[in-house]
Amino acid sequence: MMLKKKDKYTIAVVGATGAVGNEMFAVLEERNLPVEKLRLFASERSEGKTLSFMNKDVTVEILTENVFKGIDIALFSAGAERSLHYAPVAAKAGCIVIDNSSAWRMDTEVPLIVPEVNPHDLKWHKGIIANPNCSTIQMVVALKPIHDAAIIRRVVVTTFQSVSGTGKKAMDELLNQTADLLNFKEIRPQVYPHQIAFNCLPHIDKFMDDGYTKEEIKMVNETKKIMGDDSIRVTATTVRVPVFRGHSEALNIETEKKLSANEVRALLSKAPGIIVYDAPEKNIYPLPTLAAGKDEVYVGRIREDNTIENGINMWIAADNLRKGAATNAVQIAEKLIEMA
């Protein structure tokens, strides 16, 4: 199912008033896609609300099964349940869905896309395209050039994920808990099982029977699918940290072929979507505060792992609401338009 070639397209954002939906809306305007008409959908609570796009007010509509006719591309960020119901309806109406939820990511009939890594997989979509998990996206952008040059055998990743990955209520909880603790007030965690302010929680999503969380399993399975290589071994520990925006990750990478730290820097410097930010002697290394509001993956602390023959350590940071969600979805839309 290919996008029809047009001068301008009708684009929709489903879940437009949520944190990621809002970001999608903003990124669409920033990147100046050829949008003839923008339609915004949300729940009944947001019906009638207006948002400004290209100096024009756009009214938020209620999502129903009958709205998709005439829409070329729909960016979904309304949760897995709504996506499972509405994405096939939209595809049947001739609309291509780019879905940000977990609903379709591991479906064998649905490509899981990071444009810098596997844009070729767009050729076999059947109307639904999945946007990967935020922590996976930034990792595979950094892994791809290394895998192409030296074949990655194994990745050990520890994430340091901001509360915006959970949503606005989590951001409010961090803000309120911080204020309460500084004012010697009692706190009552609601979004997370424990205090998040001044704390780290090694717990993202549900725990499975083997002791891993769903977030960790997502990183393992999604990496293999995106990279197109089931032989890459990935093990993950995902941690929620008291940062409002931007995810960081510590990566330990074992390759088949030996790469020096300088060779890795050279590879990544030429790769799309990456900024090598690596001069620790000058206190230059990736930070979530640096990555916030940006679309690139920042990579630094690149050094050889002296405990194995072919190993590299690095530290990466990216904006989880932008490259980790909204920007990646819009970049997929750009690729579809380019391929039309």
CATH code for the domain of 104: 3.40.50.720
Tell me, yes or no, whether 202 lies in a domain: yes
Residues 24 and 121 in one domain: yes
**Residue 21: predicted pLDDT:** 87
Exposed (0-12), middle (13-18) or buried (19+): which is 235, by Cβ within 10 Å?
A: middle
**Residue 45: predicted pLDDT:** 82
**Residue 234: predicted pLDDT:** 98
Q: How far apart, in whole angstroms, are the C-alpha atoms of residue 230 and residue 39? A: 39
Smallest Cα–Cα separation from 101: which of 127, 140, 124, 75? Answer: 75
Residues 123 and 25 in one domain: yes
The residues carrying an active-site annotation are 134, 247
| b/e 274-307 (16+ beta carbons within 10 angstroms → b) | bbbbbeeeeeebbbbebbbebbbbbbbbbbbeee
Pick out the chain residues at pLDDT < 50. Answer: none
> What backbone torsions phi and psi does residue 231 show, to the nearest 5 degrees?
-80, -15
Residues 89 and 146 in one domain: no
Residues 185 and 259 in one domain: yes
pLDDT tens sequence across 272-328: 999 999 999 999 999 999 999 999 999 999 999 999 999 999 999 999 999 999 999
Tell me, yes or no, whether 1 lies in a domain: no
With tokens 């074992």, the residue in question is 254
Tell me, yes or no, whether 4 lies in a domain: no
Provide DSSP, 34-81. Answer: -EEEEEEEE-GGGTT-EEEETTEEEEEEE--TTS-TT-SEEEE-S-HH
Q: How far apart, in whole angstroms, are the C-alpha atoms of residue 202 and residue 112? A: 26
Pairing state between β 35-42 and 56-62: parallel
Q: What is the residue range of 44's domain?
A: 9-131+325-339
Residues 113 and 142 in one domain: no
**Residue 46: predicted pLDDT:** 82
Q: How many residues does the chain have?
A: 340
**Residue 47: predicted pLDDT:** 84
**Residue 312: predicted pLDDT:** 98
CATH code for the domain of 246: 3.30.360.10
**Residue 43: predicted pLDDT:** 83
